[in-house]
Structure 1
Amino acid sequence: MGVPLSEVVDQFLIDRATLTRRGLTESSRENYRRDIVVWATVIARQAGRLGDRPTPEDPAPLDVVLVDDLTETQIKNAYRVIRLQEAVSTTQRRVGTLRLLCHWLQLEGHLGVDPTLRIEAPERPVRLPAGWNDDELERLADAVWEERKAHARRWPALERATFALLSTTGVRAAELCAITEQSLRRDSGGEVVVSVIGKGNRQRIVPVPPEAITFVEEYLQERTVRFGTLPAASPLLRRADGVPLTRGALRHLVDGWIARSGVPKQEGESAHGFRHTYAKGLIRSGVPAPAVQALLGHEDLKTTGIYVKATAADVRDAALLSPARQVLRARTP
């Protein structure tokens, strides 16, 4: 009887976390496991160990697929199925995970050869990040600041603070939702910066222009009236019912702005359009690429590093060139 994948996957994940300089976040760990389960499910179905339709009585795919089942032929057959079922970007990730697993299994002596050597992931079509132009950003701001009928679940100050932070910092949706009052602080030069924990648990410091801080402070004043003083280490942005803002709630907010403004929706997560807009605005202003990479927390460690020195003069000055500042300045009381 061979070794089932369920007996080696946890050790593989432990090794990945140990050998990777950045470690593994819980999200990354779950993604690796999910990818492996998908491969195991397809292989198990092709081998007749699982039915085509899942039932509560089915065994776990990782229990019925053995390490010895990871042959080039089995993987190629499963790959054909996955390519038809999954998006190109998802298939790329699935193949990448399987390559890492098989390489590790070979190093550990579970496999004689790596069966993925001749498996090539599909090329992702090149799509340049779009972002919104200045006119579209203005229309989005109009949608945020417009007078609307009062609603128990709508909180204008929250929307204004959210727009201000998204448009002037380029943070990801998950990063925005994780910002705390404590992570906003003044640096040694007196400028406000926000500490962000990005992908791979990497920290970076991003300057926040005063126009954005105006609306964050307005929101904080209202938040105190509504909910009293909250712990500084708790999430900064909260819905009208006091629940911390989630990615789903943020997506709902931004989708509403997009619908009311009539601007084109960006591909992917709604809030990510602000990140593209922020980056392209900096580049149009002549900001060097390494400074933009540092501000966005991209994975190229040659320019970012583990702790990004984003408050250095060139990076700080780059952030202050964001075109969103003018949009907010026009709305500052």
Structure 2
Amino acid sequence: MVAPPLAEVALDWCHAKSVTAASTSGNSDKARRTDLARWGRAIKTSRGEIIDEELLHSLEHDLDGLTTRDLSSESLLRALDLLKRSYSPSTLQRQLSSVRGFCRWLATKGLIDTNPFDDEVLQVRGRTEQAVRAFTPDDVTAMIEAAGEPSKRARSAWPARDEALIDLLAATGTRNGECVALRIGDIGGADRPVLHIQRGTKSGRVREVPLAKHTVDRLDKYLAERGERGLAATGRESLFIRNDGRDFTTDALYHLVKRLAQAASAHLPDDALVHGLRHHFGLQLAMRGVPPATLQQLMGHQDPRTTSIYTRHASFDLINALDDAGWLS
């Protein structure tokens, strides 16, 4: 039997997943495609092929020349070792989940004889501790300060906007795609200000997050400056825009956070930068004793097991703090 091209069956799997997905944002489909492309590139690299790392990941390019026979446990183990060097544990877990689901589907369809993840060695090596890569409170403060005093070389800087943006990300746990989809009218609330997060969500679930006074103050300052610049500021307009009035994109947001993190000497892996502010929000709430069910709602998690990552990590931090204080001696 001729082994089918990997790119072809990967596209079929992604299409099947997107058809049955609960979310309609397309973010999950994009993540699955990128994950499989990264596995393909890692498999090729582990075999000694020369890869142009500047090229964007794509199923068609990164899986070109590979077949289902290349999904052996040995080749996946070599690829896994490479991926571990480049990505944070949380991203690696998602990549493992994607390729594990893909292999399970291939086995169900009879396109591979055995599922490589049935190999006990791959199961053990695939388990990594899901660390929460979060910016610390000091990191967030330093990033906001860096936003207020940008370098002269940062031509895209807008201090009031950048301060408000970092504050909002750290104080609401908004994801990258959710942030760029926000509109001015999403800030509301009768008794106290809340942020309505309803577009670009990962699970398709709408949620409301109360806004702290310092976040509201920075947003008000930014929107006042925006009006002074003659840029539209009605409820239907995007909340965050670039200096020329164009909407923010996820790439523009990533580069802004990266610039401010570097200026503040706050270090996280490149793939965890924007999410590091979301993790900051979840971890700080968990450490303050916010009930798991409430934390799950504020974070927009579909599965409570995802939320438990923050509560576990917060418990470790509290134990370490007590130990450092000599309380547990």
- Per the TM superposition, whether the score is higher than 0.5 is yes
Which residue pairs with 1:26 in the alignment?
Answer: 26
- TM-score, with structure 2 as normaliser: 0.69
Shift of residue 75 of structure 1? Answer: 0.9
Q: Judging changes above 3 Å, is the alpha-carbon distance between structure 1 residues 301 and 202 closer, same or farther for their aligned structure 2 residues?
A: farther
Looking at structure 2, the residues matched to 42 and 172 of structure 1 have their Cα atoms a distance apart, in angstroms, of 27
Q: Give the % identical residues.
A: 26
2:49 corresponds to: 52
Which runs of 5 or more structure 1 residues have no equivalent in the other structure?
305-333
How far apart, CA to CA, are the structure 1 residues paired with 2:114 and 2:289? 50
2:78 is aligned with what amino acid?
V
Question: Superposed, which structure 2 residues align to 1:1-333 within 5 Å?
Answer: 2=2, 3-20=4-21, 22-23=22-23, 25-37=25-37, 52-53=49-50, 64-67=65-68, 69=69, 75-87=72-84, 89=89, 92-118=93-119, 119-120=122-123, 121-125=125-129, 127-133=131-137, 137-145=140-148, 153-186=156-189, 189=191, 191-196=193-198, 197-229=200-232, 232-258=235-261, 261=264, 264-267=266-269, 269-301=272-304
In 2, distance between residues paired with 1:60 and 1:250?
27
In the alignment, which residue of structure 1 is the partner of 2:311? none
Unaligned runs of 5+ residues in structure 2 are 53-59, 308-329
Indicate if the aligned counterparts of 1:235 and 1:244 stay in contact, CA closer than 8 A.
Answer: yes
TM-score (norm 1): 0.68
Question: In 2, are the aligned partners of 1:132 and 1:273 still within 8 Å (CA)?
Answer: no
Cα deviation per residue 1:206-246 (whole Å; 9 max; x = unaligned)?
A: 12234322322232232233244366444211122223233
Q: Separation in 1 of the partners of 2:240 and 2:64? A: 43
> 1:13, CA displacement in angstroms?
1.8
Find the aligned partners of 1:24 and 1:216 in 2 and give their Cα distance: 29
Which has the larger helix fraction? 2
Q: Give the match for residue 314 of structure 2.
A: none
Larger Rg: 1
- Give the drift of 1:158: 0.9
Give the CA deviation at 1:82: 0.6
CA gap of 1:266–1:62, structure 2 versus 1, over 3 A, is closer
Residue 301 of structure 2 aligns to a residue whose secondary structure is coil
Secondary structure of residue in 1 paired with 2:203:
helix
- Decide whether aligned partners of structure 1 residues 136 and 16 sit closer, same or farther in structure 2, where only a CA change above 3 A counts: closer
CA root-mean-square deviation: 4.0
